[in-house]
Amino acid sequence: MSELKGYQVAVVGATGAVGQKILETLEKKQFPIAKLILLSSKRSAGTNLKYNGEVYTVEEAKPESFEGVNIALFSAGGSVSKALAHEAVKRGAVVVDNTSAFRMDENVPLVVPEVNESDIKNHNGIIANPNCSTIQMVAALKPIKASFGLKRVLVSTYQAVSGAGNQAVEELSDQSQAFLNGEDLEPEILPVSGEKKHYPIAFNALPQIDVFQENGYTFEEMKMINETKKILHDDKLPVAATCVRLPFFTSHAESVYIEVEDDHASVEAIQKVLTEAPGVVLEDDPENQVYPTPLSATGKSDVFVGRIRKDLDQPKGFHLWVVSDNLLKGAAWNSVQIAESLIKNNWL
Ligand code: L14
């Protein structure tokens, strides 16, 4: 590896919705790359993609693909990560994994750099990138917890279709057009591709993201619950989630109810803490109708917070509205941040 020119970087799932954003982010942040290797499943191998003006042909990801790779960014689905992440590590790479394959593995740090960057140094070759909905919520909650303590979290999400991939994006687009033309289009992808039943997403709201678990919660809801406790190092924190898919393309919004420990917390004090928090932007001015929306957050790497209100009955209860680009801070940008931290701190 040439220290001057940079690192050998592999992007696994380069043709996917997140993979494409990873490439854009690496390019935008001028990540120090000596050699870039683009990998995918067999299905997408052969695709040509551009990086820094050069054309790269995507190759099928195999164990040997990781020979000489320093950093491998995985976002090709859980089964690809399970099959190949350890193969990459065996060959000397450090893996930043964007799937749910290893997130709750106790030997794998689960990291949002603004929240728990130092967990990265305990990695054993794999660092997990949390679920998109979890990332934006904990980015807002960490500074509040640090200043006022946190006793409870209840969240309802309003999630974009791009989290479910490019085919879901196409489905929303095609279905919306068909609906306005008075035509019928059979839903095929959402709520979850591979499930028995599909429901229309256009002009609808679907209270199912990822598959149902035995306890009646969906896997997306359980990811938010379990990952939040792990990232905040607070196993006993009560967290409940309801995850809902809405018909827009990018950025998730969340209505978050929290109860804090400190009697002195106020809307103004929480606003001040969030103003100073890294990666968080306060957009909270109801008098002037200022609050974030999925469209206003799209394309930006920060987490936006508005609508901060005191609960009317619970003295230590507060409500927040949290919005962020699910493909950037929720996925690509958070992964690249982890990779930057590995380099900056000599944790590779
Ligand atoms: O767990 O369908 O990283 O929107 C997050 C997005 C799983 C799918 C994860 C979706 C994915 C989910």
Nearest atom in ligand 1 to the alpha carbon of residue 133 is: 5
Within a domain: 101: yes
- Per-position DSSP letters for 205-220, written without gaps between them: -BS--SPBPTTS-BHH
**Residue nearest atom 9 of ligand 1, based on CA coordinates:** 131
- Are 68 and 48 contained in the same domain? yes
Cβ atoms of 190 and 199 within 8 Å: the answer is yes
CA of 165 to the centre of ligand 1 (A): 9
* Per-residue confidence (pLDDT) for residue 50, from 0 to 100: 96
Alpha helix positions (H), 132-218:
132-148, 166-180
- Catalytic residue, candidates 86, 123, 252, 319: 252
Question: Which of residues 1 and 103 earns the better pLDDT score?
Answer: 103
Same domain, 139 and 118: no
Counting atoms of ligand 1 from 1, which one is nearest the CA of 160? 4
Q: HSE-up of 10 (CA within 13 Å, CB side)?
A: 32
Tokens 């999400």 found at: 157
**257 in a domain, yes or no?**
yes
CB 78, CB 100: distance < 8 Å: yes
Q: How far apart are CA 331 and CA 75, in angstroms?
A: 9
* CA 102 / ligand 1 centre spacing (Å): 14
Q: For ligand 1, atom 4, name the residue with the nearest CA.
A: 163
Give the residue, out of 100, 135, 211, 334, with the most ligand 1 atoms within 8 A of its beta carbon, to mutate for a pocket test. 100
Residue 243 is among the residues annotated as catalytic for this protein? no
Give the separation between CA 109 and CA 131, rounded to whole angstroms.
13
Same domain, 183 and 296: yes
Indicate the helix (H) or strand (E) that contains 24: helix 17-28
Lowest mean per-residue pLDDT among 5-9, 101-105, 122-126:
5-9
Alpha-carbon distance 245 to 345, whole Å?
Answer: 38
Q: Are residues 304 and 335 both part of a single domain?
A: no
Atom of ligand 1 nearest to the CA of 129: 3
Instruction: Return the CATH number at 258.
Output: 3.30.360.10
pLDDT digits (tens, 9 = 90+) for 115-145: 999 999 999 999 999 999 999 999 999 999 9
Separation of CA 3 and ligand 1 centre (Å): 35
Residue 4 pLDDT class (50, 70, 90 cuts): low
Residues 6+ apart with CB under 8 A from 80: 12, 13, 41, 61, 74, 99
Residue 228 within a domain: yes
Cβ atoms of 247 and 203 closer than 8 Å = yes
Say whether both 50 and 166 belong to one domain: no
Residues 93 and 210 in one domain: no
Atom of ligand 1 nearest to the CA of 130: 3
Token couple for 182: 């008075």
Which amino acid appears at position 273 of this protein? V
- The tally of domains found in the chain comes to 2
Query: Is 142 found in the same domain as 105?
Result: no
Closest among 126, 119, 26 to 78, alpha carbons compared: 126
132 is catalytic: yes
C-alpha of residue 220 to centroid of ligand 1, in Å: 7
CA 302/CA 266 separation, integer angstroms: 23
Whether pLDDT at 59 is above 70: yes
117 and 140 in a common domain:
no
- Asked if residue 2 belongs to a domain, the reply is no
Q: Which residues line ligand 1 (CB under 6 A)?
A: 99-100, 131-132, 159, 163-164, 209-210, 220, 223
pLDDT of 248 strictly over 70: yes
The verdict on residue 1 lying in a domain is no
Residue 340 is assigned to a structural domain of this protein: yes
Together in a domain, 170 and 125: no
Can you give the CATH number for the domain in which 61 is found? Answer: 3.40.50.720
Would you call 325 helix, strand, or coil by DSSP? coil
Q: Is the pLDDT of residue 279 over 70?
A: yes
Q: How far is the CA of 146 from the centre of ligand 1 (A)?
A: 28
Give the mean model confidence (pLDDT) for residues 199-214: 98
Identify the CA nearest to 249 among candidates 136, 135, 158. Answer: 158
- Domain of residue 216 covers 134-326
Residue type, 341: S
pLDDT band for 5, please (50, 70, 90 cuts): confident
266 domain-assigned:
yes
Position 1 confidence tier, pLDDT thresholds 50, 70, 90: very low
338 and 275, same structural domain?
no
Average pLDDT over residues 147-175: 98
Are residues 275 and 204 located together in one domain of the fold?
Answer: yes
In this structure, are 272 and 166 located in the same domain?
Answer: yes
Q: Is residue 72 part of a domain?
A: yes
- Residue from 60, 116, 57, 121 nearest 94 by CA: 121
pLDDT value for 3: 47
How far is the C-alpha of 257 from the C-alpha of 28, rounded, in Å? 35
Bridge partner residues of 244 (DSSP) = 158
Q: Give the number of other Cβ atoms within 10 Å of residue 65's Cβ.
A: 21
d(CA 16, CA 13): 6
| DSSP track, 67-115 | TT-SEEEE-S-HHHHHHHHHHHHHTTPEEEE-SSSSTT-TTS-B--HHH
Q: In this model, does residue 2 exceed pLDDT 90?
A: no
